[in-house]
C-alpha cells in the first residue's frame, strides 16, 4: 500500500461537520476564545446534571492518583481495516504523537512518514530521508494534517481531564441520524455535548471525487542532505504558533454517549462548530465547494483497558457520512475503519527533537 493510501485511511478518522441535533438551539456558540479556556475546568453556568455526567465519565477514565498527570503524547501499535466502497485494506502501523503537531508513522514496508519542528518528511526503506516541502506535495501535507487530527482526537479521548471546555450541556435525546450498530441502543445511554478546541475534524473529498480536480504537477521527491530552513519547511516559532492559535483555533462539537453503569464513553459524534464565513464549519478549505467536503463521524468505543492509570479504548469502529452530499448523507452499514490496538502507551517522555530526521538535526 502506498504512503498516500495509508495516510488517507488514517485521516478519515479525524474529520466531520456541523450537525443538527436536539441541542442546536440550546448550545452556546462558544464565543469565548479557546485561548481563555483552562484545561479540565468546567464551564461556568453549565447545568449541574451535565457537570455530574461529565465528572463521572472523567473519573471512570482515570485513577485518582493520576488526575494531575499531564499526558502529552502516546505510542501505539494497531491493526487498521479501512473500507472504501467494495475495497478493503488491512495493515499494521506503529504511531508516535506529541502534542500539538509532531507525528511519526512506521509502516510495514520499513518506510516512515511524519511531521515535526522541521516540517513534513518521508523516510525510505533504505534509510534516506525526503523533505515533503513545496506546492507539489500539498496533498501529502494535507493528509498528514488529517492524520494529526486523528491523533489529537485519541489523546483528548484518553485524557479528558485535560480537555478545555467552552460549553457543556446534557442532551435529552441522542443525536439524530446515528448508524444502526448491532448491540448498541443510543437511548440506553446518557448523553452530553461539549464544545472544545481539543478535538479536531477536517474536511475531505467525498468517495469517488478525489480525482475531480487536476493535481499539481509532481516532481520527483528531493533528497534533503541537511535540515530545511524554517521558511522552506513551513516551520513556526513557538511565539508564531501561539499567536495563530489565539486568533484562529477552531471549536468542535462532540456529543458523547455514556454507559449508565460504568460511566465509560461508548459513542462519540464529532462535528465542527459553524464559525467560518461560508457557514460550513470548516476553516482553511481550498475548494470552491467546501460544503461537499464536510464529513461527520460517529465512533463506537469498545474494550477499555488500563494504561498509566488511565482507561483507553482498544477497539474503535468509525462510521462516516457527508451530510451535504445526498447520495452519501446517511451513515454506511459497515464501519469505514476498524482500529484494533495491539499495544498502547500514553507518554509524558517524548521530545520534539525525536520528530526531526537525523540528517536535519
Q: What per-residue confidence (pLDDT) applies to 83? A: 83
pLDDT at site 97: 92
pLDDT score for 47: 97
* pLDDT score, position 68: 62
Asked if residues 280 and 204 have their Cβ atoms less than 8 Å apart, the reply is: no
Q: How many residues does the chain have?
A: 361
The residue assigned the cell 466531520 is 16
Question: 146: domain range?
Answer: 3-237+251-360
pLDDT for 292 equals 62
Look up the pTM and report it.
Answer: 0.74
CA atoms within 13 A of residue 27's CA, in its CB half-sphere: 28
Assess if residue 208 is contained within a domain. yes
pLDDT tens across the length of the chain (361 residues): 444 444 444 443 333 333 333 333 344 444 445 558 898 899 999 999 999 999 999 999 887 766 666 778 888 899 988 887 778 889 888 999 998 889 999 887 888 989 999 999 999 988 899 898 888 878 778 778 878 887 888 888 877 888 999 999 999 999 988 888 888 899 999 999 999 999 887 656 666 655 444 333 333 333 443 344 444 444 444 444 444 444 557 888 999 999 999 999 999 998 877 554 444 444 433 344 456 667 788 899 999 988 766 788 899 998 888 877 887 888 888 888 899 999 888 776 889 999 999 888 7
242: in domain: no
Domain-embedded: residue 245: no
Residue 334 lies in a domain: yes
The DSSP symbol for 104 reads: E
For the chain, how long is the longest CA-to-CA vector?
58
Rounded distance between C-alpha atoms, residue 183 and residue 259, angstroms: 13
* Closest-CA residue to 311 (of 323, 321, 303): 303
How many structural domains compose the chain?
A: 1
Using DSSP, state whether 286 is helix, strand or coil: coil
Does 156 map to a domain?
yes
E strand or H helix that includes residue 246: helix 238-248
Domain-embedded: residue 134: yes
Classify burial at 254, counting beta carbons within 10 Å of its beta carbon; exposed 0-12, middle 13-18, buried 19 or more: buried
246 belongs to a structural domain: no
Contact status, residue 310 vs residue 322, Cβ threshold 8 Å: no
Q: How many Cα atoms sit within 13 Å of 114 on the Cβ side? A: 28
Q: Is 112 a domain residue?
A: yes
Amino acid at each position: 500500500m502506498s504512503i498516500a493510501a495509508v495516510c488517507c485511511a488514517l485521516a478519515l478518522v479525524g474529520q466531520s461537520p456541523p450537525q443538527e441535533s436536539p441541542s442546536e438551539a440550546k448550545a452556546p456558540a462558544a464565543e469565548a476564545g479557546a485561548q481563555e479556556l483552562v484545561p479540565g475546568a468546567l464551564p461556568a453556568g453549565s447545568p449541574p446534571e451535565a457537570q455530574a455526567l461529565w465528572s463521572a465519565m472523567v473519573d471512570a477514565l482515570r485513577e485518582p492518583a493520576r488526575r494531575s498527570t499531564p499526558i502529552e503524547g502516546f505510542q501505539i501499535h494497531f491493526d487498521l481495516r479501512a473500507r472504501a466502497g467494495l475495497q478493503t485494506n488491512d495493515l499494521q502501523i506503529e504511531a508516535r504523537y506529541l502534542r500539538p503537531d509532531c507525528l511519526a508513522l512506521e509502516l510495514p514496508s520499513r518506510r516512515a512518514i511524519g511531521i515535526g519542528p522541521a516540517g513534513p518528511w518521508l523516510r525510505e526503506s533504505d534509510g534516506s530521508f525526503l523533505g515533503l516541502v513545496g506546492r507539489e506535495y500539498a496533498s501529502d501535507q494535507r493528509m498528514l494534517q488529517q492524520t494529526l487530527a486523528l491523533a489529537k482526537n485519541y489523546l483528548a479521548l484518553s485524557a479528558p481531564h485535560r480537555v478545555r471546555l467552552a460549553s457543556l450541556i446534557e442532551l435529552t435525546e441522542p443525536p439524530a441520524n446515528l448508524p444502526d450498530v448491532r448491540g448498541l441502543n443510543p437511548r440506553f445511554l446518557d448523553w452530553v455535548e461539549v464544545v472544545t478546541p481539543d478535538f479536531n475534524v477536517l474536511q475531505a473529498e467525498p468517495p469517488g471525487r478525489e480525482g475531480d480536480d487536476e493535481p499539481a504537477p509532481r516532481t520527483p521527491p528531493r533528497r534533503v542532505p541537511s535540515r530545511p530552513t524554517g521558511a522552506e519547511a513551513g516551520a513556526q516559532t513557538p511565539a508564531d504558533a501561539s499567536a495563530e492559535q489565539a486568533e484562529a483555533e477552531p471549536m468542535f462539537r462532540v456529543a458523547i454517549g455514556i454507559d449508565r453503569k460504568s460511566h465509560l464513553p461508548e459513542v462519540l459524534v464529532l462535528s465542527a462548530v459553524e464559525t467560518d464565513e461560508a457557514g460550513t464549519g470548516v476553516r482553511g478549505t481550498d475548494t470552491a465547494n467546501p460544503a461537499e467536503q464536510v464529513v461527520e463521524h460517529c465512533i463506537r468505543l469498545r474494550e477499555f483497558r488500563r494504561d498509566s492509570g488511565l482507561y483507553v479504548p482498544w477497539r474503535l469502529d468509525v462510521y462516516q457520512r457527508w451530510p451535504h452530499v445526498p447520495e452519501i448523507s446517511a451513515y454506511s452499514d459497515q464501519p469505514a475503519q476498524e482500529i484494533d490496538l495491539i499495544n498502547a502507551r500514553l507518554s509524558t517522555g517524548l521530545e520534539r527533537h525525536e520528530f526531526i530526521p537525523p540528517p536535519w538535526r
